[in-house]
Structure 1
Amino acid sequence: MAPHTGSATATRIVELELIGLRDSAAGRGAGGGPALVRVADGDGVSGWGEIPWAGPARWEALTRSFAPALLDHAWLRPTEAGEAWADLPWDPAVAGALDTACWDLWSRQRGTPLAHALGGERTALTAGVTLARQVTLESVVTEVNRQVGAGFRRIRLEIEPGWDADVVRAVQGSFPFLVLQADAGGRYTESTADLDSLRALDGVGLVAIEDPFDPDDLAAYTRLSGELRTPVALHRSLTSVADLGAAIRAEAGSAVNVDPARLGGLTEARRAVDRAVDAGWTVWCGSSARTGVGRAATVALASLAGASLPVEVPGAGSRGRDLVVPPVRAHEGVVPVPLTESGLGHGVDRAAVADHTARAVVVDADGLRELPTRRTRGRRAQGR
């Protein structure tokens, strides 16, 4: 049972299940699979979170440091769960998965949708999709047509030097009323040629130009933001609300992509939305998530009134398994916010997870123990 503290009931996590997934579970190539975390209280209620990329060092931090720290920590609200790992080396993805799992658990304990627990107000969200770099302008227009046909109303185009203004104009020529953003991925510098390319994007009607420069070069963002009429958006340079506060004070932009996995979970992401809105910045909730667990958390966050731009979800034809039921998808360009179920509002498909599990452990009062996977069971059967 959960211990009681005064008139409120404190939650103590008694078990963590940590599941490393093969990279194919998320429809990507090599580079490290995602991981799922499940936290459980003494009454058998569980909550889930996701680490988008769980390489060896991150897996070690999760299993040997963060998970045991959470076992030793009781909390009244999920906003207090992070005190468990406050003294550990900061890893926003690991902290974010555990923080999100605690929010999911807390919401399920109370029979409350996660969106409502976070303070969300909306019941449905406009969907946006990111379009990766294509081979030709014609293939860009063809792929945009595919996404528009599926109902998407906002397209985020990946750009780079030599692949920017012409791409935007080609899309606008075929879809003049489509909402467009540009994601530069930090690929530009303050060279004359690069700055001329960014200036050429100004005034073409983009909602934002995201991450034009190296994430650590905040001064470059400030200079560009002061010059362009198009909002400069930050994403990869933010790993905490403190980072966002510094960007706001530096006037380094006027829009932000709030990603729970990069900021350390829903607690910090919710604070980031509030901080950005208070500063007059435009907000949308993108996601590094690679499974439906992380996407469902992002949808709940995007239900906040301040997240005014379309939420990022997989587009038409996207590969990979959501691993949740029902899948987190847009329907005719709209993403429903699940309000009839508690927590994330999506059940984890344990059979599908098992199909993609590369490794799994349980951490509890008895320590850490490996769990058998279908692959290890198969090897044992072959050895008999």
Structure 2
Amino acid sequence: MEFKSILLRHVKMELLNPFTTSVGTEADKDFILVEVKSKSGLSGWAESVSIMEPIYNEETVQTNWHIMSDHLIPILFEADIRHPDDVSEAFRKIRGNFNAKAALEGAVWDLYARENGISLAKALGGVKDRIEVGVSVGIQESEASMLKQIEGYIKEGYKRIKVKIKPGWDVHILKAIRTQFPDIQLMADANCAYTLKDVEHLKKLEEFNLTMIEQPLDHDDIIDHAKLQSQLEIPICLDESIHTFEDARKAIELESCKIINLKIGRVGGLTESRKIHDLCEANNIPMWCGGMLEAGIGRAHNIAITALSNFTIPGDTAPSSHYWKQDIIDPEVSMEDGYIIIPEEAGIGFEPNRSKIEEVTLYSKNFFNQ
């Protein structure tokens, strides 16, 4: 693969509704849009999922820009990249910075699929023609507001409801949801809001027939999650703790979880995502694809990876209209009866709308391969 240039854009888009978790509220989304241009004239696209503050992980939009500009792009131009898998190997000498790595690698994957005339899903080994869609509900101002939102999502056809919880917003809200909606697939996402001292409190959640509780303990923990899982009937799902194949392997061996949420940006890209997928499948650990409030291009990558066989739980892949007044792709991601059709077109299957992208771009920089 021969790269002509790489264009980075700092983009800012306003969310339709503010989204609140135990770590904060987002009303809009800053992110970096990556366009890798080949000498053949085609472009591959991806998004960095980092936000402006280091509250999900240590990366931010600003650190991603620096790492991509000063370290990863020069490496990519110098490396002999014959397949997208070669990108993660070339980046190996740079520690961490998984969001930044994933954005560049994802754009190369899209470019590779376009050059070979196949969908990104098929390039990754996807086997599905459609995926089930779940939705994430942030912490609300009131119980009534939460129940009203969930009722609307059920009517829209979502196959799984995930609600954000934290101390003081957990037992009573889950009880209210379960009372009104006894049969829905329901999960709780704690975003690291609890400790091992809360074991007895977390056991109170067992009566609500939860599909899982996601990341109840520290963001970098595997050991204490194993202790907690041994005392809980609810399956623990790990999110923030899983950055690499090795993290997943250790978590499985220690029985720290029974489910893994995969986020492409969190694990450094699609190549590592496939490795983790295959490991989980071999060990009967079901998976689902988490969301980071991606715009259409990042969402397209999530749809493609979810086409792999072991993504058996509906992911946070809600359609464009759930997040944005206007997305930056054509057509926008749409859902019917709780399903999204996997695109068959080459690459991500959605065309970036350059005029819409320009409207939301704060600044950009082009890097040329000398």
Q: Give TM-score scaled by structure 2 length.
A: 0.91
Change (3 A) 1:91 1:296: same
Match of 1:34 among 31, 35, 55: 31
Give CA deviations for 1:147-187 in whole Å, capped at 9, x if unaligned.
11111121001011121122122112222111001101000
SS, match of residue 135 in structure 2 = strand
Give CA deviations for 1:77-136 in whole Å, capped at 9, x if unaligned.
111122332212321101101111111111101110111111111111110000001122
Change (3 A) 1:74 1:26: farther
**1:209 paired to 2:206:** no
Q: How far did residue 317 of structure 1 move?
A: 4.5
Q: How far did residue 329 of structure 1 move?
A: 3.2
Off by >4 Å, runs of 4+ in structure 1: 25-32
Once the two structures are superposed, the pairs formed by residues 302-321 of structure 1 within 5 Å of their partners are: 302-314=306-318, 317-319=322-324, 321=326
Compare CA radii of gyration and give the structure with the larger one: 1
**1:195 paired to 2:199:** yes
Say if 1:37 and 1:48, in contact at 8 Å, map to a contact too: yes
Match of 1:119 among 116, 121, 125: 125
Partner of 2:101: 95
SS, match of residue 265 in structure 2 = helix
Partner of 1:345: 349
Given residue 70 of structure 2, which amino acid in structure 1 is its aligned partner? R
Partner of 1:44: 41
Say if 2:136 and 2:162, in contact at 8 Å, map to a contact too: yes
Give CA deviations for 1:160-215 in whole Å, capped at 9, x if unaligned.
11211221221122221110011010000122xx2222101124211110000012
Change (3 A) 1:353 1:61: same
CA distance in 1, matches of 2:258, 2:200: 21
CA distance in 1, matches of 2:245, 2:333: 27
Match of 1:67 among 67, 70, 73: 73
Give CA deviations for 1:291-346 in whole Å, capped at 9, x if unaligned.
1111110111001111100121236653354311111232221111111x101000
SS, match of residue 157 in structure 1 = strand
Give CA deviations for 1:243-292 in whole Å, capped at 9, x if unaligned.
11111121101100010010011111111111112121111011225211
Given residue 244 of structure 1, which amino acid in structure 2 is its aligned partner? A
Say if 1:25 and 1:33, in contact at 8 Å, map to a contact too: no
CA distance in 2, matches of 1:140, 1:258: 26
Change (3 A) 1:101 1:317: closer
Q: Give TM-score scaled by structure 1 length.
A: 0.88
Change (3 A) 1:262 1:145: same
SS, match of residue 130 in structure 1 = strand
Partner of 2:23: none
Match of 1:128 among 125, 134, 139: 134
Number of residues paired by the alignment? 353
| Of 350-359 and 313-322, the range deviating more from structure 2 | 313-322
Match of 1:323 among 311, 328, 332: 328
- Give the alignment's Cα RMSD to 1 decimal: 1.8
Partner of 2:254: 250
Partner of 1:222: 226
CA distance in 2, matches of 1:26, 1:357: 18
Partner of 1:332: 337
| Of 31-40 and 353-362, the range deviating more from structure 2 | 31-40
Partner of 2:22: none
CA distance in 2, matches of 1:156, 1:25: 19
CA distance in 2, matches of 1:260, 1:44: 26
Partner of 1:78: 84
Gap regions ≥5 residues in structure 1: 1-10, 367-384
SS, match of residue 68 in structure 2 = helix
Partner of 1:260: 264
Partner of 1:378: none
SS, match of residue 202 in structure 1 = helix
Say if 1:285 and 1:307, in contact at 8 Å, map to a contact too: yes
Gap regions ≥5 residues in structure 2: 19-25, 51-59
